Structure formats: structure tokens, C-alpha cells
Structure 1
Amino acid sequence: MQVAIALWQYNLPLVHLNTIGEALLYMKVYHDEFVDEKTKRSIRVIAVIFLVFAALDSFWLEGFGRINSYTNLAESIIIISLGLLYFERTLIGRRRTQLQRVPLFVATIGIILYLSGTVVLYLATNHFIQLNDEYNTRLMYLINSVLVLVLGLLFSRAFILVKPQPQPHTLSAR
């Protein structure tokens, strides 16, 4: 972060990269989870379109001097849609499973809560930055910190739920 501040006087280019990386990571997780080839192909196409839009937003629409709220909105729409699709398929396929014990289900709850909260948050933050309203800008970042905390807690719960895969025992050569 300090390198970004030294190079650009602020860290907003890192925020742009973070949004793109976060979206691609979530898309990869859902891509790997779904078994339907049509869904997988759709996710790959959406990822390419998202990357093109993110570049357009960062270099032309909003620039690197603002938070990339349009890219964040696109990310939120895509990932929340994938999360809801995952919920639907999980609810249909696992009728007798305790869903609070399914790691990706728990993580998806956190992802949806976080992304639905940050959509409005980043749009409002850009507005407050433009008005040079430090109090409300800091308030937006405080709310963002609470959303990140909730996301982190649900991710931690999901990781705790993951059971280690049994490793095949091999005989060592003597």
C-alpha cells in the first residue's frame, strides 16, 4: 500500500485491482463448484466481459482517481447472481443436509452480505470524496470495515467446516 501511495499519491489503483481480483476469485470458486458445462461456459464468458468492462471503467469511465464503483456494481450483480444460483442448486440437491454445515453455503452467505452492502457504499463514498466530506467518508469506511468483519467471520466458519481429505497411506522404501 505504501508503494502505491508513493507512486500515485493514493492507493485507488490497488482498489481497482482488488475489485477485479476478488470478482475473478469468486467466479473461479463457483465455476469449480458447478458441474453443468453450460453454466461453466457462461461463467467464463461473463468473466471475459467483466474484465473488458473493468478496464473500460478504470481507464475511461471513472478513472483511477475514484473508487471503481461501476466495476463494483458489476461484480456484485454477477457474484450475487452466482451465489443465488448456488443456493438454488444446493437447496434442490441437498434436501436432508444441514446447510449451516456446508462450507461454501456459509461462505456464500458472507459474500452476498458483503457485496450487497458495498454496492451502495462505494457509490456513496465517491460522492462524499467529491464533496470533500471527511466525516461521512470515514463513516462509509467504518461501515465497510464492519462488512469485511462479517465476511471474515463467515469465511472463518466455512474454513473450520472443511474436513481434511484422508491421505492414502504409502509404504516407505527401506
Structure 2
Amino acid sequence: MELKALLFNYGPWIIIAPVLLSLVLYNRLSKALKIITWYLILSVLTQAVSLWLWKKSINNLPLLHAFTVLEFFLLFAYYSFQSKQLLTRFWTYGIPVLFLGFALLDAFVLENLHSFNIYTRSLEAFIFIGCSVHWFIRSITLESKVILQDQNGLKYMNAGFFIYFSCSLILFAFSNYINHLGRPLLMNIWTLHSLLLIVLYLFILIGFCKINRK
């Protein structure tokens, strides 16, 4: 099997490594890192169900719509736990509610539940690019006492999220154009997405390893 096929079919399953390590460390983790554990569990379960649906020739894109919303809630909570002193009631509750509303609008009005949720995925990527940049800015300031906890491991995780969402934003934003390309080129592009997932999961794994050495 060629390298491209290996990356596309098996690369994202590297997620199993950070899932297992996070479960071993779970009782020692901060609230923010416990959320990352649940995010990883959600991701691996979604991958498994998505693969099963694909093998049964069942459209698995409704699952992606649901995953996007749950992923957003978990990652937003992850970043929120690290910025408690700056949170307002609107930031804590308003943004997730607005995102859910937009995701439903996208699924049933703007696009289709059985098609790729371009607008919702693009919005999510844009928000978490901002969150990761905000984290790095705050991590180098003297007043960021909350962020300094577990910082050595968190910086790898946030670097992973920044790389993944920054690069994926291009794929998400141009998905309508990409989907009209020939199948070989289309597979190359989504193999690149699998590679981005590998990078993300490796950075999360490194982050947990750094935290474990403390």
C-alpha cells in the first residue's frame, strides 16, 4: 500500500496513543486537560462510527455535523478554563449558544445535513485560531498565573490546535471548489487533512508526555 493510502486510512488512528496516555494520567490532570481527554475520546469514537457507516455505504456527514458542535463545546470549555479571570457571562454561555444556533441554521437552511458543513467548520476553525493565538499571547505575560499551570505541556497542545485549524480553515473554506475536482486530486487534499490530524494528535501526545514528567 502506498504512503498516501496509509496516511489517509490509518494515520488518524494515531489518536489512540494520546487517548491511552490521557486515561492513565486522568486523575492527575487539571480540569482543562480532562476536557482534552474527553475531546480525544469523542474524536476516536466518531472516527470509528464514521468508518463503520462508510463501510455500510451510509452517508456519515450527519455525524460530522454533530461532532463539530460537540467538538466546539469541549474545546471552548478547554480554553475557557484557562481564561476564567477574563470571562463574562456572554463569553461563557452566549458564544456556545450562538454557535449551536448557527450550526443548526447551516445544517437545515444554508447547506444540508447530508453534505459537508463548510460554514460551521470554517467558523469553528476561525474561532479556535483566535483562541490559540490568545493563549500564546497570555502565556508570555506576567499576570497569566492560571495559564502558567501545566504550561510546558499546554504549549504543545495549543500549537497543535493552531496548526490544525489554521491549515484546515483553507480546506474548509474552499470545500465547495475542492469537491468539484477530480477524484485523484480530491484524495490528495483530504490525505493532507489526515496528515494535519496526525500532527495535532502528536502534539497533544507530546503535551501529555511533558505534563507527565513534572
Which residue does the alignment assign to 1:123?
173
CA–CA distance in structure 1, aligned partners of residues 94 and 82 of structure 2 = 17
Deviations 1:56-85 (A, max 9, x none): 111111112321111011101211111111
Letter in 1 for 2:164: Y
Deviating 4+ runs (over 2 angstroms): 1-9, 37-41, 122-129
Deviations 1:19-73 (A, max 9, x none): 2222211101011111215357414311111111011111111112321111011
User: Contact conserved, 2:178 with 2:186, CA < 8 A, in 1?
Assistant: yes
Alpha-carbon shift at residue 164 of structure 1 (Å) = 8.0
Which residue does the alignment assign to 1:104?
154
Could you say what secondary structure the match of 1:20 adopts? helix
Which residue does the alignment assign to 2:78?
29
CA–CA distance in structure 1, aligned partners of residues 204 and 107 of structure 2 = 29
Which residue does the alignment assign to 2:87?
38
1:9 matched to 2:87: no
User: Contact conserved, 1:16 with 1:58, CA < 8 A, in 2?
Assistant: yes
**CA RMSD, Structure 1 to Structure 2 (Å):** 2.9
TM-score by length of 2: 0.66
Deviations 1:119-167 (A, max 9, x none): 11123333232x26212221111110110011011000011112489xx
CA–CA distance in structure 2, aligned partners of residues 40 and 82 of structure 1 = 17
Alpha-carbon shift at residue 7 of structure 1 (Å) = 8.4
From 65, 71, 74, the equivalent of 2:120 is: 71
CA–CA distance in structure 2, aligned partners of residues 137 and 39 of structure 1 = 42
Letter in 1 for 2:202: L
Unaligned runs of at least 5 residues, structure 1: 166-174
Which residue does the alignment assign to 1:56?
105
Which residue does the alignment assign to 1:169?
none
User: Contact conserved, 2:118 with 2:175, CA < 8 A, in 1?
Assistant: no
For 1:89-100, what aligned pairs fall within 5 Å after superposition? 89-93=138-142
Alpha-carbon shift at residue 94 of structure 1 (Å) = 7.7
From 124, 133, 143, the equivalent of 2:182 is: 133
Which residue does the alignment assign to 2:135?
86
For 1:144-163, what aligned pairs fall within 5 Å after superposition? 144-163=193-212
TM-score by length of 1: 0.80
Unaligned runs of at least 5 residues, structure 2: 1-49
Which residue does the alignment assign to 2:31?
none
Q: Which of the two has higher C-alpha Rg?
A: 1
More helix by share: 2
Q: Specify which structure has the bigger relative contact order, considering alpha-carbon pairs within 8 angstroms and separated by 6 or more residues.
A: 2
Alpha-carbon shift at residue 101 of structure 1 (Å) = 6.0
Deviates more, 1:35-44 or 1:113-122: 35-44
